[in-house]
């Protein structure tokens, strides 16, 4: 009689994330991720948030509050970078996220309708640090920035947390059945955010004209 040794099953990405959420420092780490995401990091806190709620949906509202407050605090740090350190730090971050070419147009949009830009950036997958840094560069009223940041980030986190709270069992069943899709789907959001940033912030007309002139100058013998 031959003995068969079972090979340990390789954990999927979502399983690894779910295990990480049980760590005693999971909530402080989540808060730190939300803070840094609003300031500089190219990551979506939902990658950690979703498994935490699925594991224990009674924490949904607390986790949503942690994410909202931490993200707004990180946004204030981003605002400070734009206001005080744009040339030394902020410009490099803006360029990294693909919004550098249209920054003049983006800044003009903040001058004309800053609150709307904050709401769009706070809710959508667009890198929020682009919004927070530009708010500082544009000198947007600080209380307006905080108020609309709380509103936008609150919607960003409380709505999905609420859905997980009320439909947690069904969501857990679906995710457990499609772990690979759930894990990689979260990572796709990061890529979508990168792609949307330069599309949302088109180049200003003056920048386009300047580029056209430069191309003509180089082409002229």
2-45: pLDDT as tens digits: 444 555 566 665 566 666 666 778 899 999 999 999 998 877 88
d(CA 196, CA 188): 12
- Here the tokens at position 57 are 């949906």
Q: Can you give the pLDDT at residue 34?
A: 94
Lowest-confidence range among 25-29, 98-102, 216-220? 216-220
128-138 and 103-123 helices, crossing angle to 10°: 130
Q: Can you give the pLDDT at residue 78?
A: 96
Q: CA separation (Å) from 186 to 55, 84, 96, 139, 173?
A: 17, 33, 21, 33, 17
Alpha carbon 109 to its chain centroid, in Å, reads 20
Query: 159 by DSSP, 3-state: which?
Result: helix
Could you tell me where the beta strands, DSSP code E, fall in the chain? Answer: none
Q: Can you give the pLDDT at residue 120?
A: 86
- Here the tokens at position 124 are 């959508």
d(CA 93, CA 91): 5
85: closest CA among 136, 125, 32, 47?
Answer: 136
Q: CA separation (Å) from 108 to 21, 95, 123, 140, 173?
A: 41, 17, 21, 11, 46
Most confident listed range (80-89, 106-115, 166-175)? 80-89
pLDDT band at 75 (very low <50, low <70, confident <90, very high): very high
In this structure, are residues 134 and 94 in contact, taking their beta carbons and an 8 Å threshold? yes
Task: Output phi, psi for 101, to 5 deg.
Answer: -65, -35
Q: CA separation (Å) from 189 to 106, 152, 184, 195, 200?
A: 22, 18, 9, 10, 16
Q: What is the average per-residue pLDDT within 159-184?
A: 70
User: Locate tokens 């295990």: which residue?
Assistant: 19
């Amino acid at each position: 009689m031959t003995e068969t040794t079972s090979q340990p099953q390789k954990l999927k990405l979502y399983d690894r994330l779910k295990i990480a959420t049980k760590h005693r420092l999971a909530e402080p780490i989540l808060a730190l991720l939300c803070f840094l995401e609003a300031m500089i990091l190219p990551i979506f806190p939902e990658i950690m948030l979703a498994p935490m709620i699925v594991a224990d949906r009674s924490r949904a509202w607390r986790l949503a509050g942690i994410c909202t407050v931490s993200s707004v605090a990180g946004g204030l740090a981003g605002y400070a970078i734009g206001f005080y350190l744009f040339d030394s730090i902020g410009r490099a971050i803006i360029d990294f996220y693909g919004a550098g070419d249209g920054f003049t147009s983006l800044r003009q949009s903040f001058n004309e309708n800053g609150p709307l830009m904050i709401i769009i950036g706070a809710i959508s997958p667009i890198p929020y640090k682009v919004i927070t840094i530009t708010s500082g560069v544009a000198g947007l009223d600080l209380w307006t920035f905080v108020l609309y940041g709380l509103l936008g980030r609150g919607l960003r986190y409380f709505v999905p947390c609420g859905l997980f709270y009320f439909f947690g069992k069904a969501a857990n069943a679906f995710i457990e059945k499609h772990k690979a899709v759930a894990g990689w789907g979260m990572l796709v959001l990061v890529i979508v955010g990168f792609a949307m940033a330069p599309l949302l912030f088109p180049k200003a007309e003056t920048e386009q004209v300047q580029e056209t002139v430069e191309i003509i100058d180089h082409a002229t013998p």
